Amino acid sequence: MPVGAVRLRRGGLTLHVCDPGKTGTAPPTSAGDALDFAATRAFVESEMVRGGIPPAIARCMGDHMVARPDYARFAAVATSADQPPAADLKQFKQVVGALVDGCTR
């Protein structure tokens, strides 16, 4: 598909885009994904503080948790309203322990 184009004219901007039609798919990352990512991180960090973790340590943990390749799984367990499977909960607790250790040294 050709790229879009913008032209500046006396009357303003002209934007040319291509409509992929009904078979088009959303890009793999979007503004919505970025907002979800930020909101999830903020929620998890605030829950850590609410649980008694000092804000500076919770912020450090947030910085490190988002860099983990298993972040999506970690966030899913952290934000779930339901009791996660035992294996997921065990891994979650191990990740939290590692994050605490890394941020309190």
| pLDDT digits 0-9 by tens, 65-96 | 888 888 888 888 888 888 888 988 898 889 88
**Structural domain includes residue 8:** no
Q: How many helices (H) and strands (E) does the chain have?
A: 4, 2
DSSP per-residue string spanning 60-105: HHHHHHTTSTTHHHHHHHHH-SSPPPHHHHHHHHHHHHHHHHHH--
Q: Which domain holds residue 80?
A: 31-103
**Structural domain includes residue 10:** no
* pTM tops 0.75: no
How far apart CA 24 and CA 87 sit, in angstroms, is: 37
**Structural domain includes residue 46:** yes
Domain count, the chain: 1
**Structural domain includes residue 13:** no
**Structural domain includes residue 47:** yes
Nearest Cα neighbor of 92 from 104, 76, 103, 105 is 76
How far apart CA 99 and CA 61 sit, in angstroms, is: 5
**Structural domain includes residue 89:** yes
Residue 1: the pLDDT is: 43
Nearest Cα neighbor of 61 from 80, 77, 46 is 46
**Structural domain includes residue 93:** yes
Residue 84: the pLDDT is: 86
**Structural domain includes residue 14:** no
Task: Give the residues across from 14 on adjacent strands.
Answer: 7
